[in-house]
Amino acid sequence: MKIPVWQTTMLPVITLVVICYFALHNTSSIKANDNIQILENCSNTNLSTHKLPGKLPCKNTSQKTIKSITTTSSSLLSFIYQKRFLTIVSENLQTLPQPESLEYILLRSYGAAYINRQPGIKLPEKIIFANEKETKEFQATLNMGKVNGTHNCYLQKPAADALNRARTQIKIPLMSRYGQINCTRSFSTTLRLWRKYANDRTLEKIRQGKETKILGIVAPPGSSQHLWGLAVDLRVTNQAQQKILNQNGWYRTVKNDTPHWTYIGHSPEELALLGFKNKVIRGVNYWLTPL
Ligand SMILES: [Zn+2]
């Protein structure tokens, strides 16, 4: 029987391609798994002791190896950072939200404060407070401190202390003159602000992933960092003010919400090591969660 010409010429080529594909595929998946294991080993010690890293403490792993992994596997690295961030968040939350649920979207936008490990700081066990009662129950557990020189601006005490320190170094006014509205808010205040800019249809669009801009203008009811006593709205107009706020653990963490500052209590170097994304948007510097 005569073998067709295409089989004699093409068959070896096809076989070779198939062998190469499987060889490469297996190698890269083994390498990816190894890299995940190495980077996870790097993070576990710190996470279990609540000491977030000043540098990655990787037993048996040279900094050169880590550097080569991190520079060659940026998507892998962002996966690791997301996983680490969720591990930290899970120490406070009753349940971790499912990816792309409303809670997950809100955690991405407002969850930066969950990495705060300053003594005396409390974080909520759920991302959205359902009503005033739940909000008040949480707020009743907080140790609050006053921001000096204000009428009634209160924050969790370590946050107020850090802001007071910054304000002794340079003038940093609140957005409004006396400013309770700029500091810790009640559920009803956040609801009133929400209704000024948005409604139930907006919330549905956020849920469907079709609307994100509004999150930089106003937080959906029950989800604002201002309910946690860890956010303040400030009038920051120059780099010197920003630098001093950062040095005292305060950062802009909500994209496009320029006056809004969150107390995180870490240095910029620590935020970078935790996978926080340092983005400059229209000339304004933000530190966004790894999600
Ligand atoms: Zn704010």
Q: How far is the CA of 220 from the centre of ligand 1 (A)?
A: 12
Cα–Cα nearest to 112, from 279, 5, 230:
230
The verdict on residue 39 lying in a domain is: yes
Together in a domain, 23 and 147: no
Can you give the length of the chain in residues? Answer: 291
Together in a domain, 131 and 236: yes
Together in a domain, 121 and 16: no
Residue 261, φ and ψ in degrees, nearest 5: -120, 145
The verdict on residue 169 lying in a domain is: yes
Together in a domain, 274 and 137: yes
Residue 174: predicted pLDDT: 94
Residue 183: predicted pLDDT: 95
Q: How far is the CA of 226 from the centre of ligand 1 (A)?
A: 6
Q: How far is the CA of 48 from the centre of ligand 1 (A)?
A: 31
Which domain does 275 fall in, by range? 102-288
The verdict on residue 247 lying in a domain is: yes
Q: How far is the CA of 266 from the centre of ligand 1 (A)?
A: 19
Q: How far is the CA of 86 from the centre of ligand 1 (A)?
A: 23
Amino acid identity, residue 115? Answer: I
**Residue 152 to residue 139: CA distance in whole angstroms:** 16
**Residue 130 to residue 100: CA distance in whole angstroms:** 20
Residue 270, φ and ψ in degrees, nearest 5: -65, -40
Instruction: Flag the least confident range among 24-33, 60-69, 170-179, 228-237.
Output: 24-33
Q: Tally the domains of the chain.
A: 2
* pLDDT bucket at 72, cuts 50 / 70 / 90: low
Residue 77: predicted pLDDT: 84
Q: What number is the average pLDDT over the span 253-258?
A: 95
Domain closes at, from 72, 93, 121: 72
The verdict on residue 97 lying in a domain is: no
pLDDT averaged over the chain? Answer: 82
- Between the alpha carbon of residue 81 and those of residues 73, 199, 221, the distances in Å are 12, 33, 28
Together in a domain, 107 and 64: no
Query: Between β-strands 260-263 and 231-233, what pairing exists: parallel, antiparallel or unpaired?
Result: antiparallel
DSSP for 109-156 reads HHGGGGG---TT----SSSS--SHHHHHHHHTT--EEEPTT-SS-EEE
Map tokens 């320029």 to a residue.
Answer: 258
**Residue 245 to residue 262: CA distance in whole angstroms:** 10
Q: How far is the CA of 165 from the centre of ligand 1 (A)?
A: 20
Q: How far is the CA of 85 from the centre of ligand 1 (A)?
A: 22
Together in a domain, 112 and 225: yes
The verdict on residue 223 lying in a domain is: yes
Neighbours of ion ligand 1 (CB under 5 A): 233, 260
The verdict on residue 253 lying in a domain is: yes
Domain closes at, from 32, 55, 72: 72
Together in a domain, 161 and 223: yes
Residue 189: predicted pLDDT: 93
Q: How far is the CA of 59 from the centre of ligand 1 (A)?
A: 41
Number of Cα atoms under 13 Å in the Cβ half of residue 2: 3
pLDDT, tens digit, 9 for 90 and up, residues 145-156: 999 999 899 999
Q: How far is the CA of 205 from the centre of ligand 1 (A)?
A: 22
Q: Which CATH number covers residue 175?
A: 3.30.1380.10
The verdict on residue 153 lying in a domain is: yes
Residue 66: predicted pLDDT: 61
pLDDT, tens digit, 9 for 90 and up, residues 157-211: 999 999 999 999 999 999 987 667 899 999 999 999 999 999 999 999 999 989 9
Q: How far is the CA of 130 from the centre of ligand 1 (A)?
A: 20
Map tokens 């010690």 to a residue.
Answer: 45
